[in-house]
Amino acid sequence: DIPEYIRLLGEHRYADALELIYQHNALPAITGHICDHQCQYNCTRLDYDSALNIRELKKSRWKKVGMNISNAGTNQPVLVHAIRLP
């Protein structure tokens, strides 16, 4: 839900925006860095000016939210669970 994500960022509700991303992506910091941004080719903003760079929004806003993640090793299910800890 990119429009909702951008709205939350615009309201400086970074934790809520991150929670919205977590509903579909357990590792947004990683995917934010490796994403090849295919969605930009079909962005509806192209009808007005230029595509949104969601990847850069995620990367820059990730730093706005403090996270407490302990060393969970390299097991992805463990990492996903650790990320969702309060």
Tens of pLDDT, residue by residue over 10-38, are 898 888 888 888 888 877 777 777 877 78
Contact 83, 27 (CB under 8 A): yes
Residue 61: give the domain boundaries: 2-83
* pTM, two decimal places: 0.56
What's the structural domain count of the chain?
A: 1
Cα distance between residue 50 and residue 43, in whole Å: 8
CA distances from 10 to 3, 26, 38 (A): 10, 22, 23
CA 34 – CA 31 distance, rounded (Å)? 5
pLDDT digits (tens, 9 = 90+) for 53-83: 777 777 666 665 554 444 334 445 555 555 5
Q: Rounded distance, CA 76 to CA 82, Å?
A: 10
